[in-house]
Structure 1
Amino acid sequence: MRHPADALEVVMKFLLTSSGVTNPRIESTLVDLLGKPISEAAALFVPTGLHPFPGGAGSAWDAIAGAGGDRAAGLGWKSVGVLELTALPSIRRESWVPALREADVLIVWGGDVLHLCHWMRESGLADLLPELTGTVYLGVSAGSIAVTPYNCDAEFDREFVPEGDDRGRDADRALGLVDVTPYPHLGHPSMPDAALEEIRRWAAGIPVPTSAIDDDTALRIVDHQVEVVSEGTWELFEP
């Protein structure tokens, strides 16, 4: 059986971030991947990962509106649409797949990695991603972790699994569409598990490279080639 990453021969372009497009270098990399100015590019925004958390509905709106200084949906795109993954299994594919294929960038926001991965699979989005020739996948926090082999937020995510749901059993695995696992928010003062030594300890237990990235750092991945784009701090842990 072919691994999902084997289907990605030069078709998907990933920009995996902690907190969106936070500095000119990350923005320049995004424009380069798009091959056009942001003002000429169409975006689809996925807020699904926020819903498991208390206040998730308000957080989803804040993310779409660009509140709090987070820069992704509010960068000045030609157009922005919302793709809510939990709704997709209940509607006809021809109602949403064309918009997905026509988008220049898919912005997948943060939140609960386990919930996000579940609905990326259930909606069919995970299977479609390798077919999106030329589309840029812009991941933010959980949206970045979701396409990697391992979920560094697994223990945290299990706290939000509904009672009686066995989804938490495989919480440590993500979609595996890229070959490196970013660990976002390196050194963030409100996230003790993002301290460098904590990340080092976690990275020692997985068989793929782990890239600890702060909120001013991103990973540019094209055809499995990884480039660090940073105006901040990062560290790579080899397996």
Structure 2
Amino acid sequence: MNLLLTSAGIKNPSIHAALVNLLGKPISQATALCIPTAGYGHPHTKPSNAWRFISGHEPRCPMIELGWKSMGVLELTALPSIGKERWVPWVQEADVLLVNGGDALYLAHWMRESGLAELLPSLHETVWVGLSAGSMVMTPRIGDDFVGWKAPSGTDETLGMVDFSIFPHLDHPDLPENTMADAERWAAGLSGPAYAIDDETAIKVQGGVVELISEGHWKLFRP
């Protein structure tokens, strides 16, 4: 699986070009599924947030409104009740999975419970585009600062499909707790490498190669 791990979606031409490169085709020829699940686990989100994401009415975090050939909604909490024989082909046929932000631990839980996490390694050509928590879920740990919903394991562990952690929304004007000093303190509590990225930055992972795509600023913290 190829990854485009963003802080706030396809925010600028550089991130847009990276997405097209991963797809290997124009966005207008690519089929997409969007996953809103993470939003339901975050204490500050409302049903209107899910609607704005799904409907493409969230210009601050462009994802759905990019002109896809087709768009479907994959709600992970529903999948255990309908059977893998129905939903697995939907995922296998999609070119890209667009994954909303919210609570990364809640998202990781439902990715495991639904069976999607188990399926991902077999999706060699599929592109995963994460937004905030949708990106953090692919990391080994999110750090105590980002723990909201409590996982049954009691830990901050996520899926570990990459070997680094992510601190999103660096220096965001609406998030005074997301300064570089905050990110450095957060990273000190982790045991592996970690990136702090602003909303104009994304991390592209293709064939195991990590590339920072940025028109903003970021920093790598090493343990």
TM range (shorter): over 0.9
**Is the contact made by 1:64 and 1:74 (CA closer than 8 Å) also made in structure 2?**
no
**Is the contact made by 1:50 and 1:60 (CA closer than 8 Å) also made in structure 2?**
yes
**Is the contact made by 2:142 and 2:166 (CA closer than 8 Å) also made in structure 1?**
no
Could you give the per-residue CA deviations for residues 49-104 of structure 1, whole angstroms, max 9, x where no partner exists? 11133553211110112223121011100001000000001112121110100110
**Is the contact made by 2:145 and 2:186 (CA closer than 8 Å) also made in structure 1?**
no
Question: Are positions 1:19 and 2:4 aligned together?
Answer: no
Computed over aligned residues only, the root mean square deviation of the Cα atoms, in angstroms, reads 1.4
Inter-partner Cα distance in structure 2 for 1:155 and 1:48: 21
**Is the contact made by 1:145 and 1:182 (CA closer than 8 Å) also made in structure 2?**
yes
**Alignment TM-score, normalising by the size of structure 1:** 0.88
Query: Match for 2:210 among 220, 226, 229?
Result: 226
Amino acid at match of 1:67: H
In structure 2, the partner of 1:72 is: 63
Question: Are positions 1:51 and 2:24 aligned together?
Answer: no
Inter-partner Cα distance in structure 2 for 1:167 and 1:190: 31
Question: Are positions 1:108 and 2:93 aligned together?
Answer: no
Could you give the per-residue CA deviations for residues 201-237 of structure 1, whole angstroms, max 9, x where no partner exists? 1111212111110000000011221100000111111
Inter-partner Cα distance in structure 1 for 2:147 and 2:187: 18
Inter-partner Cα distance in structure 2 for 1:104 and 1:68: 22
**Alignment TM-score, normalising by the size of structure 2:** 0.94
Question: Are positions 1:209 and 2:209 aligned together?
Answer: no
Amino acid at match of 1:61: W
Amino acid at match of 1:46: I
Inter-partner Cα distance in structure 2 for 1:85 and 1:93: 12
Which contiguous aligned blocks of 4+ residues in structure 1 show a shift greater than 4 angstroms?
Answer: none
Amino acid at match of 2:47: A
What is the CA distance between 1:191 and its match in structure 2? Answer: 1.8
